A and B are shown apart, each in its own frame.
Chain A
Amino acid sequence: MSELIKKVTQLLDDKSISVFIGYGKGTAGRIRTLFIRSSAAADSLVFTSDCTANLAGYLLKPEVKRLGRMGILANDSALRSIMQLASEFQIKDGEVMILHAAVDGSFTEMPDFKSVEAYILTTDTGITPDEQQRIAQLEAMTVNERWNFWNKEFEKCIKCYACRAACPMCYCHRCTTDVNQPQWIPVASHEMGILDYHLMRAMHLAGRCVNCGECANACPMDIPLNLLTYQLIGPIQSTFGATAGMKADAVYALSTYKPDDKENFII
């Protein structure tokens, strides 16, 4: 812990970064995100086993970017987000100072994307057995049962867009939901608008989602949103051999093709 603080202090002092994105104590024993801008504030940084949030999303927020060169405490999924964002030309190599936080609480500086890529290869990028099981359960259902399941879940949705705000991949300045010529996604939070929104979101994250789970965590109504995008990870891996957030110069699975891509439903 102390060495993290030392490191950040030093980084801020020698002006190599002007803001560091890390974790701090929030109210009611919760963990919150901290934006450390002066070495004085550095010691309020914490890193405990509860610090699981993927902070990469902040790297693209204009209000954060405005503060100057950023440093970030990145967990595994944050690293993958950064790789994916890089592949979408949102972050340049060296632009951000990456400190990787391992689960055991140790920190390593990752000077460039190469080192990040090398590290990611050593990690398990899959979804948890628990998540796999929940997906399997859903897949075992009949279409109708699934329809009802999601209907029930979506009934809870209040279209607060917290999932969108939390997702590091949802960085568009103008989301499709805000497009009104034509109005693809009904604004109202009625079944139609909600279903459209979530289908659209899932489809837009297909092949880009790094299964960090921020969307589900952010949902005030506890809708298991992550399952929608997680379910697509498998097929995309098996059919196209593509996994999101592995390389900084990856080509997006849906903007490339193989002449012999396999499917069994086109006659």
Chain B
Amino acid sequence: MQEFEPKIVAFVCNWCTYAGADLTGTSRIKYAANVKIIRFPCTGRIDFMILMKAFENGADGIIVSGCHPNDCHYSTGNFHARRRWIVFRNLMNFSGIETDRIQFSWVSAAEGFKWADVVNNTVAKVRELGPYENYRKIAVSSLFSAEGTNNE
């Protein structure tokens, strides 16, 4: 049987990390193909519920990334995001969700290399951890209505 290929979704801000990932591309730096990026205007826009959704729909790992503190295009979005993640990470951890599967990072538009590293490290870590069975189980057993929610 072939090696487990983790599914990883990255939620990134448009101004720093998305641009940073573009730079990774233009610099032709290779990284694992397991990651798919979803673009947000700002880390401040990233709702904690979207992370819950990602896990329950089969993500094995999540990357959340934006501008370094003080570099936010909207000046304060990432500060608010940071507070939100501090709290949500607490909650996830307390309710038994594996926070190792979520990588938060600051990747600027100039950090093409860093983005590649963040991705590769996260993929490696999650490959280590294996498929997110806990979540899979309840997702599967709830599949019927989960489907229902897909196409409202």
Contact = CB atoms under 8 A, between A and B. Distances in A.
Chains A and B in contact, CB within 8 Å: yes
Interface of A: 138-139, 143-151, 176, 180-184, 186-188, 190-193, 195-196, 198-200, 202-203, 206-207, 228, 231-232, 235-236, 239-240, 253-259, 261, 263, 265-267
A254 B76 CA distance: 13
B97 interface: yes
Given A147-B96, A266-B104, A192 B91 contact: no
Contacts of B106: 266-267
Contact of A184 (B49, B97, B134): B49
Contacts of A147: 95-97, 134
Given A186-B146, A267-B103, A199 B96 contact: no
Interface of B: 48-49, 52-53, 56, 69-70, 76, 79-80, 82-99, 103-106, 118, 134, 138-139, 141-142, 144-146, 148-149, 152
Contact of A193 (B48, B79, B142): B142
B145 to A, nearest CB: 4
Nearest to B100: A143
A85 B152 CA distance: 34
Given A150-B96, A181-B152, A196-B49, 20 more contacts: A143-B93, A147-B97, A176-B49, A180-B152, A182-B152, A183-B148, A183-B149, A190-B141, A192-B145, A195-B56, A196-B56, A207-B87, A239-B86, A254-B80, A254-B87, A257-B80, A261-B79, A261-B82, A263-B85, A267-B105
Contacts of A143: 93, 96-99
B142 A192 contact: yes
A113 B102 CA distance: 42
B134 A261 contact: no
27 contacts: A143-B93, A143-B99, A146-B93, A147-B97, A148-B96, A151-B138, A183-B148, A186-B142, A190-B142, A190-B144, A199-B91, A200-B52, A202-B91, A203-B91, A228-B91, A232-B87, A235-B86, A236-B87, A257-B79, A261-B79, A261-B83, A265-B99, A266-B82, A266-B104, A266-B106, A267-B103, A267-B118
A228 B95 contact: yes
Given A191-B141, A191-B142, A267-B105, A146 B86 contact: no
A195 B145 CA distance: 14
Given A144-B96, A203-B91, A228-B94, A257 B82 contact: yes
Given A195-B138, A266-B85, A188 B80 contact: no
A195 B95 CA distance: 9
A177 B142 CA distance: 17
A267 B96 contact: no
Contacts of A207: 87
A265 B88 CA distance: 12
A126 to B, nearest CB: 17
A256 B44 CA distance: 12
A105 to B, nearest CB: 37
A146 B99 CA distance: 13
A198 B91 CA distance: 11
Contacts of A184: 49, 53
A131 to B, nearest CB: 13
A233 to B, nearest CB: 10
Contacts of A232: 87, 90-91, 94
A183 to B, nearest CB: 4
Given A190-B141, A267-B103, A261 B96 contact: no
Given A199-B52, A206-B91, A257-B76, A267 B104 contact: yes
